[in-house]
Structure 1
Amino acid sequence: MVDKSSSSPPPAVAPEDRLKENINRCLSNALVKGFGGLVIGSVVTLLFFRRRIWPVWLGTGFGVGMAYRGCEKELNEINFNSRK
């Protein structure tokens, strides 16, 4: 068995690196959710709204808005935790 008391703690991550990682995650999340909203809006407009453009924009807006909300929450948690 491995003695856990003699192992060293993991190296501390610099706040700048955490911020970069979270911003990268936020951007990729916005792209994925925005594209998902675009696809769902496109399907809805093809099936129900006789090729109108507003459901596409609405779906894309919902997707990007959800990503923005999640990113805002995540960044505020990091900011709040760093103050302690």
Structure 2
Amino acid sequence: MSSRPSSSENIVNQKYDRCLADLLVKTGVGFSVGVVASVILFRRRAWPVAFSTGIGTGIAWADCDRLFNPTRGPGMRVVTPASTPAESK
């Protein structure tokens, strides 16, 4: 195994691959839960399938957004040097 650092292109490609895999898994799980709920609870209506598939896709989207921009999240505040309070004299 080489100890040279990865290029930024490889890092971005790995993040996209992870996002795509996450999207497929979570959308598939949402679809499956929707089908089961539709058959068992809702007398074969279509809306539980669409709803749970959308939830799975939304969760995957949020995880991908957090992967590419970790500072944008609830409770996170980015303070720039220009906005810091002046030191006491």
Q: TM-score, normalised by structure 1?
A: 0.79
The two structures, once aligned, show a CA RMSD in angstroms of 1.6
Residues 21-43 of structure 1 show CA distances to partners (whole Å, capped at 9, x for unaligned) of 10011001000000000000000
Does residue 29 in structure 1 map to residue 16 in structure 2? no
Letter of the 1:60 counterpart: T
Q: Which residue of 2 aligns with 1:64?
A: 57
Q: Secondary structure at the match of 2:38?
A: helix
Unaligned residue ranges in structure 1 (runs of 5+): 1-8, 79-84
Matches within 5 A, 1:40-79: 40-77=33-70
Percent identical: 34
Where 1:77 maps in the other structure, the secondary structure is coil
| Regions of 4+ moved over 4 Å | none
Unmatched 5+ residue regions in structure 2?
Answer: 72-89
Aligned length: 70
Q: Which has the higher helix share?
A: 1
Larger RCO of the pair (alpha carbons < 8 Å, separation 6+): 1
